[in-house]
Amino acid sequence: MSTLKCKGSFEFTIFEATKLVGDVYSPPFATSNEMFWQLVFNPSTPDHPQFCSLGLRAIPNPEEENTTGIWKNRDMYFATIFLKDPKTQKKIDIGRAELNGFSATRRGFGWKDFCHNSELPAHGELVFGVEFENADIGLVAHSVTLPGRSLPKDLVDAWGDQLNNPDTADAQFNVNGRTIYANSGILCRRSDYFNTMFNGAWSETKAKKTPNRQMFTRHVRDMSEFSLGNVSIEKTTGSVAA
């Protein structure tokens, strides 16, 4: 797969930022298929109560999770983290760093005294973000195939009945307090994401044997139960839930 070097920017808006207490985490975001990040903001830290903190942390993928050395795939990046007033689009402060030396013991960088609290917008809205330099954009070639003969509806419905059925499933997903059952063999054959999940070295993987089969349990934190449910339906039946 060929790639292009580019700049990539991610921004997130916080409401009533000055009233918040403790760390505020952005949703996870990615600069490639296997490279996830997260921003962390705190309006007031114990060591520097008059200052707000801002940092960028790496979310390790399965390969990095099992590596004791440096995560070298992240060394190619430069990053600028910033705070911005969303109404004026003016940056309040910035911090730039070369992203090298990330590992299991050093998962991020940032400043506890990023900027003084008095510099935050009085109206309460605040944007925190990051701009990556030398980020890779992948140029993926998609094969064009003619649509084949559609499957009969009763066959699709019957196959779909096997989804979320604990009596026939061998995979259990725990997502935000909800449980979704599926067939790991079907998901692995139809999705690289699920194939990596079941066959990779995920630290939160547990397997328990039932009288007739082995049940794999996954604690999923990188998508909601709605998203995971829809993906499971699509990969199992080939159709999308309405």
CATH number at residue 198: 3.30.710.10
The answer to whether the beta carbons of residues 162 and 168 sit under 8 Å apart is yes
The CA distance from 160 to 171, in Å, is 15
Residue 147 belongs to some domain of the structure: no
User: How many other CB atoms are found less than 10 A from the CB of residue 70?
Assistant: 15
SS3 call for 159: helix
Range of the domain at 193: 153-237
| Amino acid identity for residue 173 in this structure | F
CATH of the domain at 117: 2.60.210.10
Taking alpha carbons only, the member of 182, 165, 168 closest to residue 217 is 182
Q: Which two tokens stand for residue 201?
A: 């070295």
The total number of structural domains that make up the chain = 2
Q: For residues 163 and 96, state if they share a domain.
A: no
Residue with tokens 């600028």: 80
pLDDT digits (tens, 9 = 90+) for 103-132: 888 888 888 899 998 898 989 899 999 998
Q: For residues 159 and 90, state if they share a domain.
A: no
Q: For residues 46 and 126, state if they share a domain.
A: yes
SS3 call for 136: strand
For the question of whether the overall pTM of this predicted structure is more than 0.95, the answer is no
The CA distance from 127 to 104, in Å, is 28
Q: For residues 215 and 121, state if they share a domain.
A: no
Taking alpha carbons only, the member of 91, 84, 30, 35 closest to residue 62 is 35
Where b means 16+ CB within 10 Å and e means fewer, 114-143 reads bbeeeebbeeebbbbbbbbbebbeeeeeee
224 pLDDT band, cuts 50/70/90, is very low
The answer to whether the beta carbons of residues 51 and 114 sit under 8 Å apart is yes
| Mean pLDDT, residues 217-233 | 49
pLDDT digits (tens, 9 = 90+) for 28-61: 988 877 888 999 999 888 888 899 999 999 888 8
| Mean pLDDT, residues 126-153 | 66
**199: which residues sit within 8 A by CB, 6+ positions away?**
188
Q: Given a cut of 50, is residue 223 above it in pLDDT?
A: no
> Dihedrals φ, ψ of 137, to 5°?
-110, 125
